[in-house]
Amino acid sequence: MLKRLGVFFLDILQTIVLALAIFMVVYFFLMQPHQVRGSSMFPNFKDGEYLLTDKISYKLSNPKRGDVIVFEAPPNQREDFIKRIIGLPGEKVSIRDGKILVGSKELAESYLPSSFSTQPGTFLEEGKSIELKNNEYFVAGDNRNYSSDSRMWGPIKRESIIGRAFFVYWPPQQMGVIPGITYAGF
């Protein structure tokens, strides 16, 4: 009887260790949960929503314009930010009359309400442009008036990107795949 009990507990311990090992591999190498904090991504993502971040796709391909990413925040690298990629390496980004321009083309952002306006920041001032280096990305929150982003502190480096947000899993009524964005003329 004692031997059976020992085998039973050993089986449970092996199952727990295996489940923990699988969880650790998934968490550290494949995907990770993140919570939206604040209103910087409103109206597309709301405060308190939980997202899954794909940590492997950017090891196989480059980030794309329109991707919603999670990265180490430049002001405080102990915190993760969620923003949208606007400018890619080698591009020039500027703000003119409440609109973002990539090169000389206005970026048509269909995911934003028409009433939203993009104001310049302390880093990217009205009418001035920034040219992104090989490993730099310009990111912005969807709620431009309430977002600390590349307009304030400059571009982010590729190595600070944790991954691409791809799925909202909480709250249940918002559950679903985060759609990819395409921009006319880009």
Q: Which residues pair with 129 in a beta bridge?
A: 94
DSSP type of residue 112? S
At 27, is the pLDDT very low, low, confident or very high (cuts 50, 70, 90)? Answer: low
d(CA 52, CA 70): 10
pLDDT in tens, 77-136: 788 999 999 999 999 999 999 999 999 999 999 999 988 999 999 999 998 999 999 999
pLDDT reported for residue 185: 84
Q: With 70 as the cut, is the pLDDT of residue 68 above it?
A: yes
pLDDT reported for residue 29: 64
d(CA 175, CA 116): 25
pLDDT reported for residue 24: 66
The answer to whether the beta carbons of residues 128 and 54 sit under 8 Å apart is no
Q: Which residues are catalytic?
A: 40, 83
Work out the percent of the chain whose per-residue pLDDT is above 70: 93
14 contact partners, CB below 8 Å, separation of at least 6: none
d(CA 83, CA 182): 16
Pairing mode, if any, of strands 68-72 and 80-87? antiparallel
Number of H helices, E strands in the chain: 3, 12
The answer to whether the beta carbons of residues 148 and 82 sit under 8 Å apart is no
DSSP type of residue 171? S
Higher pLDDT, 25 or 129: 129
pTM confidence score? 0.86
Taking all residues of the chain, what is their mean pLDDT, rounded to a whole number? 90
d(CA 92, CA 105): 10
| Fold entry, domain 34-177 | Umud Fragment, subunit A (2.10.109)
| Residue showing tokens 């993760």 | 80
Q: What angle do CA 165, 151, 134 make, to 5 degrees?
A: 70
Higher pLDDT, 177 or 23: 177
pLDDT reported for residue 4: 81
Q: How far apart are the first and last CA of the chain?
A: 71
d(CA 31, CA 150): 25
